[in-house]
Structure 1
């Protein structure tokens, strides 16, 4: 557990839930990985998130996860903070990962709530308390009911926010009233981060500190500009950028995430569009529509 006695500085602004580039033979493409890291940093994002669901973490091996993190630390070389994804629906297994993962140089861990076994709110609190005690770095909760089949309620989030090693939440429930309740009652140093690209300006207007974004893989400069504008109360600029990105957003998810954003990255020459089964690479029709939208 982090015993510094204070929370780390806030992750204000734009974080990117990075994809994991693969070759045509479905091996990890480390050259593409380095290009993606540079592309996002050069675009002006504030931090990078490695090994999240957008990174296809269910289908990367433990050895690949370790190498992706090692290469990122080496290549990023402190230019921006790194956040690493650790989670499981087996609390003991997730706890063990905190002991076996090299988290030196990692600023925080993003931990999705358990999927499939649908724990009670008390079970979710117990799960996260165990992880927070095991973690040598601060934890950011990740609430994404569309993937996990359970929701971290506002009341549960606010209970967890009292733990000194839990510093924020990526909120991807899409439940605005729930997000507003968190914003209204959270500790001042607890981060509310949007987990939905299109809701970013609205949530910032209500007290969120930023976004962990999927679209920022392909549009880091535009998303960083959007988020910074909203944080500066320049909502006219934020809306203008958001409305320009609006036609692209449904294309990112039409054939599941990260299929669409990888097709966009391929069109931009950053990395290939390959994904691992059970996902399939974007169809020709979707790729064509993404190219036209770009």
Structure 2
């Protein structure tokens, strides 16, 4: 068995957690605890705090540390802990990653440093520097729609045999890209579903894990879908995907995090509003998402 084959295996639904805020805009840890409890009851496999769904770029360093510590304290043995530790600079990513490692996180989720649009060579240099300084497991996060640049094959080719590069959350929304990763890096980089409205397709191409923003507000069907596929009942998994796809589609149409939080409210677990500059949903946007979410709210 090679070193690469011995790296940790990612499986199941891993919610990309929202960060609850109270009416004054402070982190609402009481609501956070209720939210995590509900997700655990639905069957999630672990936790991913301080990703883009968690509004990490709107948190202070102290707040991010508090969130990571709170989730780590809540987690039980066997629940995977993956921390979002992104920052605008490589030095900042290293500092955040070392903090997550000290808290006992299993891995970190890292997009390219934001506001930089690095070249592929710069992407490789950045991740190699983080690995060298931290010796931490890394799940890459390719989200060109938000970051303005893709972690392309040139970078992935250079990083694929790094033992600490364990997977890639692919959020381009392009199925051909997921297929390319699954086939080109089989046994080297795990494909992680990050394009929620085509997650069923990702599963067919070998994605055994799903870092899932929608799990915040539709954890029961999402976890049931994952379990059905894992048990070989692909028809049932497709049936569930068909039922929740309209809500997924509305989520992907814009104001993603605001809709995640409104979805939590629809489920009876309010987690507050988003921080500025993210604005509130309009009455029309709420009505559209509430209608699409009804099947999820009624899920048994």
Structure 2 length-normalised TM: 0.90
Determine whether 1:246 maps to 2:245: yes
- 1:73 deviates by 1.6
- 1:137 deviates by 2.7
Structure 1 residue ranges without an equivalent (≥5): none
Cα distance in 2 for residues equivalent to 1:122 and 1:161: 14
Q: How does 1:120-269 map to 2 (within 5 A)?
A: 120-188=119-187, 190-269=189-268
- 1:187 deviates by 4.4
- 1:233 deviates by 3.6
**223-232 or 13-22, which moves further after superposition?**
223-232
Aligned length: 291
Determine whether 1:75 maps to 2:74: yes
Could you tell me whether the CA contact under 8 Å between 1:251 and 1:286 is conserved in 2?
Answer: no
Could you tell me whether the CA contact under 8 Å between 2:101 and 2:136 is conserved in 1?
Answer: no
Determine whether 1:20 maps to 2:19: yes
Could you tell me whether the CA contact under 8 Å between 2:47 and 2:71 is conserved in 1?
Answer: no
Could you tell me whether the CA contact under 8 Å between 1:43 and 1:224 is conserved in 2?
Answer: yes
Please state which structure has a larger fraction of its residues in helix: 2
- 1:99 deviates by 3.4
Cα distance in 1 for residues equivalent to 2:272 and 2:249: 17
Cα distance in 2 for residues equivalent to 1:146 and 1:16: 20
Partner of 2:298: none
Cα distance in 2 for residues equivalent to 1:39 and 1:153: 37
Compared with structure 1, are the counterparts of its residues 267 and 236 closer, same or farther at alpha carbon in structure 2 (3 Å cutoff)? same
Could you tell me whether the CA contact under 8 Å between 1:23 and 1:29 is conserved in 2?
Answer: yes
Cα distance in 1 for residues equivalent to 2:55 and 2:68: 14
Q: Deviations over 1:252-279 (max 9, x none)?
A: 2444221001001011121234110000
Partner of 2:284: 285
Structure 1 length-normalised TM: 0.92
Q: What is the root-mean-square deviation in Å for CA atoms of aligned residues?
A: 1.9
Q: How does 1:88-103 map to 2 (within 5 A)?
A: 88-101=87-100, 103=102
Partner of 1:49: 48
Cα distance in 2 for residues equivalent to 1:74 and 1:210: 23
Q: Deviations over 1:21-45 (max 9, x none)?
A: 1112211110111111111111001
Cα distance in 2 for residues equivalent to 1:171 and 1:182: 9
Structure 2 residue ranges without an equivalent (≥5): 295-300
Cα distance in 2 for residues equivalent to 1:224 and 1:186: 26
Cα distance in 1 for residues equivalent to 2:149 and 2:4: 31
Q: Deviations over 1:175-194 (max 9, x none)?
A: 32222222112141531101
